[in-house]
Amino acid sequence: MPNFKNNTLTLTQFSLLIYGTQSGIGILSLPRDLAEIGDTSSWIALFLGYALSVVASIIIIQVMKKYPEDTIIQLFRRFFGKWLGSVFSICWIAYTALGMFLITATSVFIINTWVLPKTAPYLILLIITIPSFYLARNGLRIISRFSVLVFFFTSWMAFLFMSPMFTGDLLNLLPIIKDGFMPIIKSVPSITFSFLGLELLFIFYPFLEDKTKAIKGVLIANGITLLSYLVVTFSSFIFYGPYEVLEYVWPTLNLVKPIEFPFLERFEIIFLSFYLLILATTGIPYYFASSFSIAQLLGRKDHQIILFLTLPLLYICFYFFTNSLTNLDKLGGIFNKIGLGIAFFMPLLLVVYGWLFRKVRRHKP
């Protein structure tokens, strides 16, 4: 049993930890992803995505509520027995590890493209992974404290993203509903991807100090995520209009590019340096989740050594992975599809299964 007692999370830490996990790489390309399907009216779908994500989080909480000391690994074992439970656990571990790899590789790729084009990727990988290891080895409370710090440290960015709204043309948002509701509904899946991260509730929940506040926590977390997505999407649509926004790989980054001071030319580098912190609050929880799950599966109390052993594995994977936009997109697509299943469908199945499970148990002598 891991020691949850020394590692409990307050409500603020809990919600900002989830927010940090949710707002990751998706936000960079979100405006384009949305505009491709739903044109400029697709921002309405963000609210639908929010609703779905909150519902999914509440279902996860319902699953976990019955066994407040269990993480997903123990839950799998309790529900499905040793062997089948282990198989499910390994799938879960693979998923979280994939999440960690994807976010790290994307961070490396973005820095390589925008900031340090000639620096070798593995050096950047080292810069990212070593602090991640230092942070993750101390447990979830430290990670969540980091998330809180980063949240307040980077909240000024919201104002930065609002500035293009004033230089752009509000006419670009009209008409509000362009081609009926179908395109809006069609863009919901790509939005639910952006809310991924909530599935780590399966790991975070046992750490929450006051379990009654869990629902409040996910409401806050998803709310902040929704707000940040709304700001970025509105800004991009107002500034670029419905056509130009499709021309950029990362419209969000290009949004800060025209900002220039007489003494500072490429402001987006400053922005990116801060943005890396936000990426870290996404990557580190996945990193922690994968190592912690392995530790639980093996019945170890302490996840540090596994955390450490994961790193060489990551380097090896990175060596064989060609870090290109196409590959990252492919990998991201796979991750999103699995994530959709794990975050939105698996909780439903678990809730039904858990109910049946308890019913059968009760009837047994």
Asked if residue 91 binds another protein (CB under 8 A), the reply is no
**Count of C-beta atoms within a 10 Å radius of residue 260:** 11
DSSP H/E element including 176 = none
Q: Which of 69, 169, 210, 329 touches another protein by CB under 8 A? A: 169
CB of 207 to another protein, least distance (A): 21
Asked if residue 316 binds another protein (CB under 8 A), the reply is no
Q: Which 29-88 residues touch another protein, going by CB under 8 A?
A: none
- Window of 44-52, 114-122, 151-159, 227-235 that interacts with another protein by CB under 8 A: 114-122
Per the CB < 8 A criterion, the answer to whether 297 and 208 are in contact is no
Measure the CA angle with vertex 342, ends 339 and 347; round to 5°.
Answer: 145
Asked if residue 127 binds another protein (CB under 8 A), the reply is yes
Q: Which of 134, 153, 166, 319 touches another protein by CB under 8 A? A: 134
- Window of 205-213, 215-223, 278-286, 300-308 that interacts with another protein by CB under 8 A: 300-308
- Window of 26-34, 50-58, 110-118, 149-157 that interacts with another protein by CB under 8 A: 110-118
CB of 107 to another protein, least distance (A): 15
Quote the CA–CA distance of 230 and 226 in Å, as a whole number.
Answer: 6
DSSP H/E element including 319 = helix 304-320
Longest Cα pair distance anywhere in the chain, in angstroms?
A: 79
Measure the CA angle with vertex 48, ends 58 and 28; round to 5°.
Answer: 100
Taking the least distance from each CB to another protein, the nearer of 48 and 246 is 246
Q: What is the DSSP string of 257-308?
A: TT--BTTBS-HHHHHHHHHHHHHHHHHHHHHHHHHHHHHHHTT-S--HHHHH
Contacts with another protein by CB under 8 A: the residue count is: 36
Asked if residue 126 binds another protein (CB under 8 A), the reply is yes
Q: Which 229-288 residues touch another protein, going by CB under 8 A?
A: 240-241, 243-244, 246-247, 253-254, 257-258, 260, 265-266, 268
Distances (CA, A) of 8 to 97, 143, 152, 206, 219: 24, 12, 21, 8, 19
Taking the least distance from each CB to another protein, the nearer of 69 and 169 is 169
Per the CB < 8 A criterion, the answer to whether 52 and 195 are in contact is yes
CB of 336 to another protein, least distance (A): 25
Token pair, residue 249, equals 């790989």
Taking the least distance from each CB to another protein, the nearer of 184 and 218 is 184
Quote the CA–CA distance of 314 and 99 in Å, as a whole number.
Answer: 12
Q: Which 182-201 residues touch another protein, going by CB under 8 A?
A: none
Taking the least distance from each CB to another protein, the nearer of 67 and 133 is 133
208 three-class SS: strand
- Window of 14-22, 173-181, 185-193, 357-365 that interacts with another protein by CB under 8 A: 173-181
Taking the least distance from each CB to another protein, the nearer of 114 and 321 is 114
Measure the CA angle with vertex 33, ends 28 and 38; round to 5°.
Answer: 140
Per the CB < 8 A criterion, the answer to whether 105 and 287 are in contact is no
Asked if residue 304 binds another protein (CB under 8 A), the reply is yes
Taking the least distance from each CB to another protein, the nearer of 39 and 70 is 39
In the complex, the residues that contact another protein under the rule CB under 8 A are: 113-114, 116-120, 123, 126-127, 130, 133-134, 169, 171-172, 174-175, 178, 240-241, 243-244, 246-247, 253-254, 257-258, 260, 265-266, 268, 304-305, 308
